[in-house]
Structure 1
Amino acid sequence: MKPQRKKVTIKTLGEKIARGEKIIGMECHDTPSAMMGEELGMDLLCVGSPGPMALFGHKSMNTVEFQEQLYFLEAVLRGASTPFICCNMPNTTACVSKADAVRNASEIQRRGADGVHIEPHHKTVKMVEAIVAAGIPVVGHFGVQGERWSQVGSYLPRGRTAKDSADIVKLIRSCIDAGISTVLLEHASEELTKWCYENLSVPVASLGSGPYAHGIFHVSSDIIGCSVFPTPPKRVPFGNVWQNMKDAYTAYYEAVQSGAYPRVEESHHMHEGEFEKFLDLVDKP
C-alpha cells in the first residue's frame, strides 16, 4: 500500500520550487477528480468557478453563488486531503468590503480549505491585504479574469501589448505587497509570464500561459474534455469524456428503444418456489 504523503503547505511548495521541481495543480470541483488528484500526488487543487459553470450550467462566473462554491469545496475535501487546497471567492464575496472579505474567507478556511483564490483589481487590493492579515493564504489570479468579463468585455489573451503587460505587473506587485502567496496567470502572453517567473518574489503558475513558470495549472473539466462549454483555445484537453458520455447515453437510449436492454438474463429472480407462495399470498382476500 502506497504510504500517504505529508500535507502540502506554502512552505513545502517553496521547497519543491527550490529543488527545481515543477508544481502541478488543477482546478477541481468534484470528489472523483479530487481522489485522482490525491492519488497522483498533485500539489495544488483549486475549487474554482469552472465547477458551477461546467456542471451547473452557469453562463457567466458572475452568477455563481458563494454557497455553490462551498458545495464544491466540500466535495473536493471528501476526496483529497494532502494537496494544498484553495477555494475561489466570487467577486461578490471578496470585493464588497474588507469585513465581508475576511468573513467569507474565514468561512472557506473553516470548511477545511488551506487558502482562497481571488481575481484582484487595483481597488480591491485592500481586501486581499485584510484576508492575508487574518492569516489566510491568497492565490491571486491575473491575466484573463473571468469574473470581470462584464467589465472587460472579452476573454481575449492578456499581456499582448507593452501597456497591458505593465498594467498587469503593477497590479501583481500591489498584491504581492498585500501578501499574496502565489500568482496564477491565465491566458497571458508567454513573454509576460516568463518575465514574472524570472522577476517576481512569489511562485508563478501558468494556466494556458506557456511553459515558463514555477507551476503548471489546468482545469479538470477541460483536462478530461467534459464541459457544457467549449474548451478555451490553447488549453489542451487530454481526454474526450463528453463524447464518451454522449456515446454511452446514446447506446443506452437506442438499446431501450429497440428492446435490446434489459435482457432477460440481466434480471433478478425469486428463489425457487417463492413465486408460488407469493401468488397464494396476494390471492388471499
Structure 2
Amino acid sequence: MADRQRPVRTTTLQQRKQSGPKITVLTAYDATMARILDTAGIDVLLVGDSLGTVIMGESSTIPVTMDIMLHHTRAVVRGTQRALVVADLPFLSAQISPEEAIRNAGRLLQEGGAAAVKLEGGREPRTIEAIVRAGIPVMGHLGLIPQYVHQLGGYGTQGRTDADAARLIEEAVAVAEAGAFAVVLESIPAALADEITKRVPIPTIGIGAGPLCDGQVLVSYDAFGLYTGSFVPPFAKVYARLGETMADAAREFIEEVRAGSFPAK
C-alpha cells in the first residue's frame, strides 16, 4: 500500500513501475480541490491545460496561456502537502524553440511552485532533453494530444493503423531516452498501450488507454460528475454525481431564502 505521509517524488513513480502499486493521477485547478484530493492520498495532481474547457468554458485547450497556467499552478501548490504537482506547458510555450521551452518550464517551477512539467508530443525529443538538462523533470504526453487537435482532425482514438502504432512506439522510446520520468498515453488501443508500457523503462499513465498502463489519470470534473448535462468521455468513469448534488443544494438555498426560513432568527 502506498505511503500516504511521505511526499511523492518523480523517483517514487519510477520505482512504482517496478514494484507497484499503480500510480494515481487526477487534475486539480484550485487550492480547495487540491487539498481534498491530496488528503485522499492521490499520487499526482496534474494542473492540466484542460482548465481551458472545464474552468474557462473554452472549446479547446489552445486559448490557455502561461499566465493562466501560473495562476492555477500556484493555487494548487498552496493546497498540496504530499502529492507531486505537475503543470502542463500550454500551447506554444514549448514549440517555438528549446530555449523558450526551458524558460517557460522554469517559470512553472520557479513562479508556480510545480515539481515537474508535462509536455505534449514526441516528435521533438530534443526539447524534452533540453528541459531535463536544465534540471526540470518532464512528463511526456502521446496519443491524443489536445493541443494538436486541429492537426489531428478531432478527438478520436490514435494509433489504430499499423503505421500510426509504430510511430507512437517510436515516439515513446524517444521520449524516454530524452529523459522524461513518465509518459501519459491518451486515447490509444489497450494493446498498443500495453506494448509501449513493456517497451519503455519509464511509467506510463493511461487515459482512455486500457488497464495495462503503470497508472491512470482522469480529469477530476469528469470523475466527480461536475459536468452536469455536458459531454463526458466514454473512458471516464463517473465516481460521484457532485454536479447534481450541488444543484439540489442550490435549489434548497433558493427556496429557503425566498420562503424566509434562511437565515433563522
Conservation of the 8 A alpha-carbon contact between 1:144 and 1:188: yes
Structure 2-normalised TM-score? 0.91
Alpha-carbon offset, residue 160 of structure 1: 2.0
Q: Give the number of the structure whose alpha-carbon radius of gyration is greater.
A: 1
Conservation of the 8 A alpha-carbon contact between 2:25 and 2:215: yes
Conservation of the 8 A alpha-carbon contact between 1:55 and 1:227: no
Conservation of the 8 A alpha-carbon contact between 2:14 and 2:182: no
Over the matched positions of the two proteins, sequence identity in percent amounts to: 29
1:18-29 matches, within 5 Å, as: 18-29=18-29
Flag the 1:265–1:68 CA change in 2: closer, same or farther, 3 A.
closer
The alignment's C-alpha RMSD in Å is 1.9
Alpha-carbon offset, residue 121 of structure 1: 4.2
Conservation of the 8 A alpha-carbon contact between 2:64 and 2:91: no
Flag the 1:81–1:94 CA change in 2: closer, same or farther, 3 A.
farther
Q: Partners of 2:191 and 2:249 in 1: how far apart?
A: 43
Alpha-carbon offset, residue 81 of structure 1: 2.5
**What is the aligned partner in structure 2 of residue 235 from structure 1?**
236
Conservation of the 8 A alpha-carbon contact between 1:120 and 1:141: yes
Partner of 1:94: helix, strand, or coil?
coil
- Give the counterpart letter for 1:188 in structure 2: I
Q: Partners of 1:41 and 1:13 in 2: how far apart?
A: 14
Question: Which residues of structure 2 form unaligned runs of 5+?
Answer: none
Question: Which residues of structure 1 form unaligned runs of 5+?
Answer: 268-285
Structure 1-normalised TM-score? 0.85
Alpha-carbon offset, residue 247 of structure 1: 2.6
Flag the 1:121–1:14 CA change in 2: closer, same or farther, 3 A.
closer
Conservation of the 8 A alpha-carbon contact between 1:120 and 1:128: no
1:145-224 matches, within 5 Å, as: 145-224=145-224
1:11-41 Cα deviation digits (max 9, x unpaired): 2222333323111111221222211221122
- Give the counterpart letter for 2:261 in structure 1: R
Q: Partners of 1:255 and 1:137 in 2: how far apart?
A: 51
Alpha-carbon offset, residue 85 of structure 1: 1.1
Flag the 1:90–1:163 CA change in 2: closer, same or farther, 3 A.
same
1:1-285 matches, within 5 Å, as: 5-110=5-110, 111-122=112-123, 124-227=124-227, 229-256=230-257, 259-260=258-259, 262-263=260-261, 266-267=264-265
Partner of 1:8: helix, strand, or coil?
coil
Alpha-carbon offset, residue 114 of structure 1: 0.8
Conservation of the 8 A alpha-carbon contact between 1:160 and 1:189: yes
User: How many corresponding residue pairs?
Assistant: 261
Alpha-carbon offset, residue 182 of structure 1: 0.4
1:205-245 Cα deviation digits (max 9, x unpaired): 11121110111111111111113741111211111122222
